[in-house]
């Protein structure tokens, strides 16, 4: 995505609007999800092709990039305030061999994931937290339960460039840029 003249002008003046800030976080977040998906694809490929091995560490490279983007997203979110807490109920099925019946038993169990929810510009983000952190914050932030929570990557041509997002993050960190609500 091209950097708009408005973005260039704001950066030149040392300003970062919430919309620009949201775009930067969105770019990191979607790129991380792209890396997550590629890591999963390669992991699945090697799992199902026993004569292939990860000679070039494709899984490791995608995992490292995923973690890098998620770290940058988290660094950005330090400049924002969460607006709510979200709880996601998940079910997982595990199978266990039953010797007595000589067959597989399938048990389903429920677990919960906890997230801080951020609304920045026209974008929204989730950041995972522990149950202990949730318990500490549930008195100060509204809580919402989510039932359908799937996330996807996005074509990088539709995202803010990493260079621009990095420039915004670096400028906010070192005080060169000021975050403003417009």
List of long-range contacts for 11-14, beta carbons under 8 Å, 24+ apart? 11/167, 11/168, 11/171, 11/177, 14/171, 14/176, 14/177, 14/178
Residues 6-15 have a mean pLDDT of 94
CB-CB neighbours of 42 under 10 Å = 19
pTM: 0.87
Closest CA to 119 of 168, 74, 84: 84
- Structural domain harbouring 87: 5-150+174-180
Residue 161 lies in a domain: no
Residue 155 lies in a domain: no
Domain count, the chain: 1
Residue 69 lies in a domain: yes
CA atoms of 45 and 41, how far apart (whole Å): 6
Residue 111 lies in a domain: yes
pLDDT grade for 135, boundaries at 50, 70 and 90? very high
Could you read off the pLDDT of 157-166 as tens digits, one per residue?
999 999 999 9
């Amino acid at each position: 995505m091209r950097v708009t003249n408005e973005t260039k002008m704001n950066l030149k003046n040392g300003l970062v609007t919430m919309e620009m800030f949201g775009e930067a976080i969105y770019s990191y977040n979607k790129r991380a999800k792209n890396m997550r998906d590629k890591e999963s694809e390669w992991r699945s490929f090697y799992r199902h092709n026993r004569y292939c091995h990860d000679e070039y560490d494709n899984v490791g490279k995608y995992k490292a990039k995923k973690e890098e983007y998620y770290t940058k997203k988290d660094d950005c979110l330090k400049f924002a305030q969460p607006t709510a807490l979200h709880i996601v109920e998940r079910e997982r099925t595990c199978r266990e061999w039953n010797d007595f019946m000589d067959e597989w038993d399938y048990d389903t169990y429920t677990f919960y994931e906890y997230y801080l929810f951020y609304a920045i510009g026209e974008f929204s983000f989730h950041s995972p937290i522990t149950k202990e952190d949730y318990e500490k914050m549930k008195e100060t932030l509204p809580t919402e339960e989510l039932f359908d929570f799937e996330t996807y990557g996005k074509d990088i041509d539709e995202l803010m460039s990493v260079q621009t997002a990095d420039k915004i993050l670096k400028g906010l960190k070192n005080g060169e840029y000021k975050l403003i609500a417009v």
